Structure 1
Amino acid sequence: MDYRIKERAGFSPKIGELVSMLDYTRAVTLADVEGLSIEQLDHLADGHSNSIGALLMHIAAIEFVHQIIAFENRDLTEQELEQWLVPLELGDKARSEIRGHSLDYYLDELKKVRDHTLSLMESVDDSWLYEEGQYDNGVTYNKYYLWFHVVEDETSHRGQIRILKRMVEK
């Protein structure tokens, strides 16, 4: 694992640094879930918690949504919502629907989304990070913030994954 934030070949300088952060964040997440069984991925600590599997799908869903917002400047289509709404919202539906998958299933979903993110990021330059948009509620953001949030969200949920993993291992 590389503990340096640095430019990456194939990307403009700041985009490369952002990719470096995304890569590090993902590498730690993958190390934390390595070897988990379906039973461990599906474990629910109580009636209100999310499973590790659901949290992994949520991480993929957040990144997918941010691809759409950042690169296409739009909301999700009905078809995209159908695919991603449950892992985005988590909760009761996720507890019942996101179950029974192997770790490879979740890793494949994360990889597909990340590979697409990286291909999209190859096509933009540093000035793109500072382009602004506005949420429906009137709050302004820039694209740099959107991708910071992807890192922040994964890091936050990785903390939950670590707690759940300790509970399952006892």
Structure 2
Amino acid sequence: MKNIIRLVLLMGIVGLNAPAKAQYAVEPVEGFTPQIGIVVDMLEEIKDRIEADVRDLSLAETDFRFDDRANSIGALIMHLAATEAYYQIETLEGNAWSAEDMAFWGAASDLGEASRETFTGKPIAHYLDIWDTVREKTLGGLKSRDDAWLASEIEEGVNNHWVWFHVLEHASAHMGQIALVKQRFPD
């Protein structure tokens, strides 16, 4: 009997701490077709995790580079926004980057010397706000598409689903890079 009471108490404690949405479940987001809703859930989850890791950084931490060839966290966030903007324009608008797009996103896209010079002196909120703006446009575009569109090819052997998987994969890789940069912050 004591074991049953302990089990009931433990289940009650666990139940009180359970989140409203399953913490480790990928589920379609309401308002999107089922497959696109799953992609959106994953895109939002990785973005939320990255934002949680960086949102409280100081300006010095946002700009920190651990060597001359490294990128700052600010530059990495801009790179994530640029990558999403590129695929958004390609898949949701059916266009290539314009000269204006390239002028705005070019340094962030390349993560080279230009990004190291360009993305400095701004708080992390600046970069996160830009990424939020890009994401809003992405979500609006995905909301107007269906699962057949997601499975359709944009060129031979490349479909929209792979492209948006790549955006997710890209964010995941740079999340690891952001963690590395944070580990190298001066004490």
Distance in 1 (alpha carbons) for counterparts of 2:142 and 2:67:
39
Answer yes or no: is 1:14 the counterpart of 2:32.
Answer: no
Structure whose alpha-carbon radius of gyration is higher? 2
Q: Deviation of residue 44 (structure 1)?
A: 1.0
Residues 82-122 of structure 1, C-alpha deviations (whole Å, 9 max, x = no match): 00010000111111111011111011011000011111111
SS in 2 for 1:86: helix
In the alignment, which residue of structure 2 is the partner of 1:143?
Answer: 160
In the alignment, which residue of structure 2 is the partner of 1:97?
Answer: 118
Which of structure 1's runs of 4+ aligned residues deviate more than 3 A? none
Q: Deviation of residue 9 (structure 1)?
A: 1.1
Q: Which amino acid aligns with 1:119?
A: G
Structure 2: 5+ residue stretches without partners: 1-20
In the alignment, which residue of structure 1 is the partner of 2:58?
Answer: 37
In the alignment, which residue of structure 1 is the partner of 2:78?
Answer: 57
Q: Which amino acid aligns with 1:141?
A: V
Distance in 2 (alpha carbons) for counterparts of 1:107 and 1:25:
13
Contact 2:43 2:168 (8 Å CA) reproduced: yes
In the alignment, which residue of structure 1 is the partner of 2:4?
Answer: none
In the alignment, which residue of structure 1 is the partner of 2:140?
Answer: 119
Contact 1:3 1:24 (8 Å CA) reproduced: no
Q: Which amino acid aligns with 1:104?
A: A
Q: Deviation of residue 34 (structure 1)?
A: 2.5
Q: Deviation of residue 140 (structure 1)?
A: 3.1
TM normalised by structure 2 equals: 0.85
Q: Deviation of residue 159 (structure 1)?
A: 0.4
Residues 110-138 of structure 1, C-alpha deviations (whole Å, 9 max, x = no match): 1000011111111001011111122xxxx
Distance in 2 (alpha carbons) for counterparts of 1:104 and 1:144:
30
In the alignment, which residue of structure 1 is the partner of 2:182?
Answer: 165
Q: Which amino acid aligns with 2:164?
A: W
Q: Which amino acid aligns with 2:182?
A: K
Q: Deviation of residue 169 (structure 1)?
A: 5.0
Q: Which amino acid aligns with 1:149?
A: H
Identity value in percent: 36
Structure 1: 5+ residue stretches without partners: none
Q: Deviation of residue 7 (structure 1)?
A: 1.3
Distance in 2 (alpha carbons) for counterparts of 1:3 and 1:111:
23
TM normalised by structure 1 equals: 0.94
Q: Residues 48 and 106 (structure 1 numbering): CA distance in 2 closer, same or farther, change over 3 Å?
A: same
Distance in 2 (alpha carbons) for counterparts of 1:150 and 1:162:
19
Q: Which amino acid aligns with 1:81?
A: M
